[in-house]
Amino acid sequence: MPGSLVERGSAGFEEARVDRIFNRRLPDRQPVAVVRPETEAEVVAAVRLARERGWQVAVRSGGHSWAQWSVRDDALVLDLGALQEIDYDEATGIVSASPAVRGGADLAPYLAERGRFFLGGHCPTVGIGGFLLQGGQGWNARGWGWAAEYVVAVDVVTAAGELVRADATQNSDLYWAARGAGPGFPGVVTRFHLQTRPLPRHFAHTVQGFRMEDFDEVMTWLHDVHGTVADTVEIVALTKTDHAISPDPVLLVTALAMVDDELEADRALAPFRDNPALDRANLLIDNEPTTPEKQRARQLEDNPEGHRWAVDNAWLSGSAADVVPAMRRAYTTLPNDKAFTIWFGMAPLRELPDMAFSVQSEIYLASYVLWEDAADDERHQAWLADVMADLEPVTVGQYLGDSDLRRRRHRFLSDAAWDRLQQVYADRDPDCLFVGYLA
């Protein structure tokens, strides 16, 4: 692998160690080396090299994991950033893409030119690799399902250093694990084969802004009605500081309809006109046409580069009387004017297919804290731990994509899926070549 292997202690190692890492609260962990393959053949060579030298292997796709899964002590980091291939088959509607391809910045415009759509991550710079392996909470997961459900096959370099295709009929154990095992997947996915959807012809959104005094009333109403809204609508309630609306944090109820025409959008968004606090809204947008590009631009504003981050999440279940008070501090006491908390309405829940991803509930909550000064690390992480503790009585699990298992662990797979995954490990990587979970 001439020119691509950078070993610890050599020139360029520190840059390679944290290259493309989104969370700039960087860890001290020291890999043994970093390799940047440019082809699948070089990925195979890197895995074989690690086995020969007795190194473990960690994989970096987009570098967006909050816990920096790919930066591991004494492991070979396989940085897949140079793998950027996308290919579309018009006959099947299947797109194949490399793991470092960014769902919003790269894949979405490529598919839009062909009238197609894929449920990539909301933040446009998220690579599809880690996103899909963790289940893929993409656009309108409530109605269209998890992005991992659209994975029809993966190309995988195994612990034995072999490149294989995994799908429902061959290497099906790896195919099952690739849809939810996350960083514990026992292999290196070099290509995802994804079933796409037709690009919706019309996008429209409703946005309602409220003061924090209205939190209990608004969120109780939303808790009770979100399961009745058309499944073409993505429902998010978030609290953030937007000085264009108010100098104080604002509670935003947002609904994005992805439909065929304006009339369908109007019908789908109609339930939000019954919000009992609507007369007190300090922002009101009703069924306004929008575009995927505008939505992604907003996500980039909320997820800026170059910041330190602490993030955690919970799947919540229970009555509004139990859930709303448990969420209150996460929404009403943001530690700075860049932090935000989101609530995704997922009801009515869809039955999941047979895949490793196996824990969900009708409500998803995640808090994102971002700042720039290392002196603020302890304060912001303490706030996050406190508000997550409030949620514990109504928490049924967590989503790997917004988790740091070193700080807090809850179940992210069902018991049956966890047991099944242990068997996949035993069969596919008995020597623990791949690093597994960081916890």
Confidence of residue 115 (pLDDT cuts 50, 70, 90): very high
Percent of the chain with pLDDT over 90: 98
Confidence of residue 1 (pLDDT cuts 50, 70, 90): low
Q: Dump pLDDT digits (tens) for 182-241.
A: 999 999 999 999 999 999 999 999 999 999 999 999 999 999 999 999 999 999 999 999
Single-letter code of the amino acid located at 216: D
* DSSP three-state, residue 143: helix
20 Cβ contact partners less than 8 Å away, ≥ 6 residues apart: 60, 62, 63, 79, 81
Average pLDDT for the chain = 97
Class of the CATH-defined domain 202-402: alpha beta
What residues does each domain of the chain span? Answer: 5-79, 86-199, 202-402
- 5-79 belongs to CATH 3.30.43.10: yes
Residues 49-72: what's their mean pLDDT? 97
| Residue 56 neighbours by CB distance under 10 Å | 19
Evaluate whether 296 touches 120 at the Cβ level (below 8 Å): no
Q: Which pair of tokens denotes residue 52?
A: 């020969």
Evaluate whether 256 touches 234 at the Cβ level (below 8 Å): yes
Q: Dump pLDDT digits (tens) for 259-287.
A: 999 999 999 999 999 999 999 999 999 99
| Residue 291 neighbours by CB distance under 10 Å | 11
Angular region, 378: left φ>0, alpha ψ -120 to 50, beta rest? alpha
Measure Cα distances from 402 to 68, 121, 195, 231, 315 in Å.
Answer: 11, 12, 24, 24, 11
Q: Dump pLDDT digits (tens) for 364-409.
A: 999 999 999 999 999 999 999 999 999 999 999 999 999 999 999 9
- 86-199 belongs to CATH 3.30.465.10: yes
Angular region, 151: left φ>0, alpha ψ -120 to 50, beta rest? beta
> What residues are paired with 95 via a beta bridge?
88, 194
Measure Cα distances from 72 to 31, 57, 144, 435 in Å.
Answer: 5, 9, 35, 8
Confidence of residue 3 (pLDDT cuts 50, 70, 90): low
What is the pTM for the complete model shown? 0.96
For CA atoms 159, 162, 165, 171, the dihedral sign is negative
Evaluate whether 399 touches 333 at the Cβ level (below 8 Å): no
